[in-house]
Structure 1
Amino acid sequence: MTSFTIFGNGNMGSAIASVVAAGGSSVEHIDSSSTGATVNGDVVVLAVPYPALKDITAQYGEQLAGKIVVDITNPLNFETFDSLVVPSDSSAAAELASALPSSKVLKAFNTNFAATLGSKTVGQNQTTVLIAGDDADAKNTLADAVKAGGVDAVDAGSLARARELEAIGFLQLTLAAGENIQWTSGFALVR
């Protein structure tokens, strides 16, 4: 059984918790009002807005050493909703990995909506979590927990692929915000 600590208990944090708990993993939540909390999970999911990553790494960086840290953020410019706010040759996950050099940083869940994690489907297809990262064991740990919870998982490559995952997340969010797709839909991987 894998233990998870999830920062954030909004729609995404709750949906991810539901999936991994359904597979037998234990879950604890840390929210923005939890100061000085202890991070007990082997896998730490940062289900928070992109700007919150800086405060989390500053406050909990030492506790995250040696842990699998999952970045689900989409670093959008929420004022204009027309661009990502990280350099074109980088990603939020790459920035997080630089801030947490002793952690095994993964990018995952940013191309999923909470509703599709909850229903475990996108249209007629099983919901798929794309996982990018440089540590194969960390990716397998997350994939196994997700699959045990009834959602598919696919290795999307190295952490360098986080940039493309963030671009897909950005496109999906802008389509939903523009009411071109529903928040209960999204991109599906058909294999």
Structure 2
Amino acid sequence: MTSFSIIGTGNMARAIAGVVSAGGADVQVLAHGDLAAVAPIDGVRIEAHGTALSGDIVVLAVPYGAIDDIVATYGGQLAGKTVVDITNPVDFATFDSLAVPAGSSAAAEIATKLPASSILKAFNTNFAATLATKSVDSLTTTVLVAGDDADAKTALVAAVEAGGVRAIDAGSLKRAIELEAVGFLQLTLAAGEKTSWTSGFALAR
């Protein structure tokens, strides 16, 4: 059985937990704030920040600005695990650029901080609503997964598809640059009320 530790308890964390738990995965959710303020998630155990990670796949469902704290708290435990970065590193001071060096990505920056982990980029082109409903209009929600570890990608794709959502191998970790550009575009469109927060990304077969 695939096991997940999801760090964060926001809408994306809850939606991802719902998808992978529906596919039969064992899921641990770790609060990145006050555990007492976190609403329950059906069929998922929620534990305090700093609790030992039990999952083989660890999802960083936190803002990009929280990554350094996550690395400081869990860095040693993340060695040897698959780490899934879902962040869109938006510069919220301007909402007009990404807060990573040109030619890099949040996933690449995380990979330098966690050299003993297998880093994947996924879920950043999805809004929580379309993961929860598993559809974008009449299409099945599509999760794009990028990374350099083929076995790690295969395991994540299988877990997502078992939960009723489509998943596609989008190539190497270098493709995180393009995925983050797509995620950024979707955020700016929704924030500008050109699309809704219930819109999303899907591919027609």
Q: Give 1:156's aligned residue.
A: 170
Q: Which amino acid aligns with 1:15?
A: A
Q: Does 1:104 align with 2:128?
A: no
Q: Does 1:48 align with 2:62?
A: yes
Q: Alpha carbon RMSD of aligned pairs, Å?
A: 0.8
Q: Which amino acid aligns with 1:24?
A: G
Distance of 1:58 and 1:187 partners within structure 2? 33
| Pairwise CA distance, 1:35 | 4.2
Gaps of 5+ in 1: none
Distance of 1:112 and 1:20 partners within structure 2? 15
Q: Give 1:11's aligned residue.
A: 11
Flag as ranges the 4+ runs of structure 1 deviating above 4 A.
Answer: none
Query: Does the Cα contact within 8 Å between 2:5 and 2:59 map onto a contact in 1?
Result: yes
The alignment of Structure 1 onto Structure 2 pairs a total of residues equal to: 191
Query: Does the Cα contact within 8 Å between 2:89 and 2:98 map onto a contact in 1?
Result: yes
Q: Give 1:84's aligned residue.
A: 98
Q: Please state whether the residue corresponding to 1:90 is helix, strand or coil.
A: coil
Normalising by structure 2, we get a TM-score of: 0.91
Which of these residues, 159, 181, 184, is aligned with residue 195 of structure 2?
A: 181
Gaps of 5+ in 2: 34-47
Q: Which amino acid aligns with 1:125?
A: L
Q: Which amino acid aligns with 2:21?
A: A
Q: Give 2:127's aligned residue.
A: 113
User: How big is each residue's C-alpha offset from its partner over 1:118-173, in whole Å with a ceiling of 9 and x where there is no partner?
Assistant: 11011111101000000000000000000000000000000000010000000000
Distance of 2:154 and 2:120 partners within structure 1? 11
- How many percent of aligned residue pairs carry the same amino acid? 67
